[in-house]
Amino acid sequence: MSGFSADWLALRAPADARARAPELTKRLAAFCAGRDRLRVLDLGSGTGSNLRFLAPRLKMAQSWTLVDHDEALLEQAAASEVPAGVEVSCRRLDLAGDLGRLDFSDVDLVTASALMDLVSADWFDSLAAACRAAGCAVFFVLTYDGVMAWRPSDRLDPLIRELFNRHQGEDKGFGPALGPEAPKHMARAFIAEGFRVETAPSDWLIETGERELHLALLEGFLAAAEEIAPARTEELRDWAARRRRLAARPEARLRVGHEDLFAFPSES
């Protein structure tokens, strides 16, 4: 078990699809065009949401390898419907300990969605070096950047954001996580490896119609904040109670900042 349930991944998938930076998806499709078959490695694939979004937009024959350590999520991914000409295989692997067991030499594109804020700087740098050695392109989307903005606002919002961001920096299995520093770190690491890097915002904008996702996020932020500041539990729970009431109002909005990154070796 990874701590990411299939239900949670399904709940966030529509907000993810809407948030992705369309211009970077188009850049990726243009970059890949003209190949006979694109070989794609999807890291931390979960149930295959990244595959379901990208495969139809790449408009070419593709072979995807989905990698995750959660067998149950991979089973769902294997059952996904994919466009004609797209082959999918699943591989169960602990990316934290066993990144070195992945062979990048037969890969054209390494991709991941909603993964890179969980990994450590050292782990990420090893991945960037492996991508450079193999000469593959990279497409890492929906990486959290530390922004959390609510409407209407509440006086405790800045504290919650600060506590959540500290929690995001804790070890998620890969060593101290990049958390909100991930977008900047990724760009620096790929530039240092000689890649050309393009980035674009892919913020979640959660509006009145998505109350279930709004409330699920609220509970996740509360749980993280309580773990970091248990002495302030009462104050934090009062904030959550106010926020649950605000979430019912028609003007309720939540923005969660993300960034998408497309990078490719500069000689390609």
Ligand X SMILES: C[S@@+](CC[C@H](N)C(=O)[O-])C[C@H]1O[C@@H](n2cnc3c(N)ncnc32)[C@H](O)[C@@H]1O
Residue 46 touches ligand X, criterion: CB under 6 A: yes
Pick 116 or 236: Cβ nearer ligand X:
116
Return the bridge partners of 39, or none: 63
* Residue 66 near residue 43 (C-beta atoms within 8 A): no
* Residue 140 near residue 116 (C-beta atoms within 8 A): yes
- Buried-state track 99-113, b at ≥16 Cβ within 10 A, e below 16: beebebeebbbbbbb
* Least distance from ligand X to the Cβ atom of residue 36, Å: 26
Residue 102 touches ligand X, criterion: CB under 6 A: no
* Least distance from ligand X to the Cβ atom of residue 69, Å: 4
* Least distance from ligand X to the Cβ atom of residue 144, Å: 10
Stretch that binds ligand X, among 27-35, 109-117, 190-198, 240-248 (CB under 6 A): 109-117
Residues 12 and 7: their CA atoms lie apart, in Å, by 9
Residues 185 and 209: their CA atoms lie apart, in Å, by 34
Q: Is 123 helix (H, G, I), strand (E, B) or coil?
A: helix
CA dihedral (161, 25, 72, 5) in degrees, to 10, reads 20
What residues from 238 to 267 belong to the interface with ligand X (CB under 6 A)? none
Among 6, 61, 96, 147, interactor with ligand X by CB under 6 A = 96
Pick 70 or 259: Cβ nearer ligand X:
70
* Least distance from ligand X to the Cβ atom of residue 140, Å: 10
Residues, the chain? 268
Residue 44 touches ligand X, criterion: CB under 6 A: yes
* Least distance from ligand X to the Cβ atom of residue 173, Å: 5
Among 20, 69, 167, 185, interactor with ligand X by CB under 6 A = 69
Tell me which amino acid residue 20 is: R
Q: Which of 221, 146, 131, 224 is nearest to 184 (CA)?
A: 146
* Least distance from ligand X to the Cβ atom of residue 243, Å: 22
Among 24, 54, 115, 263, interactor with ligand X by CB under 6 A = 115
Q: Is 25 helix (H, G, I), strand (E, B) or coil?
A: helix
Pick 53 or 187: Cβ nearer ligand X:
53
Q: Which residues bind ligand X (CB under 6 A)?
A: 2, 4, 9, 44-46, 49-50, 68-70, 73, 94-96, 113-115, 173
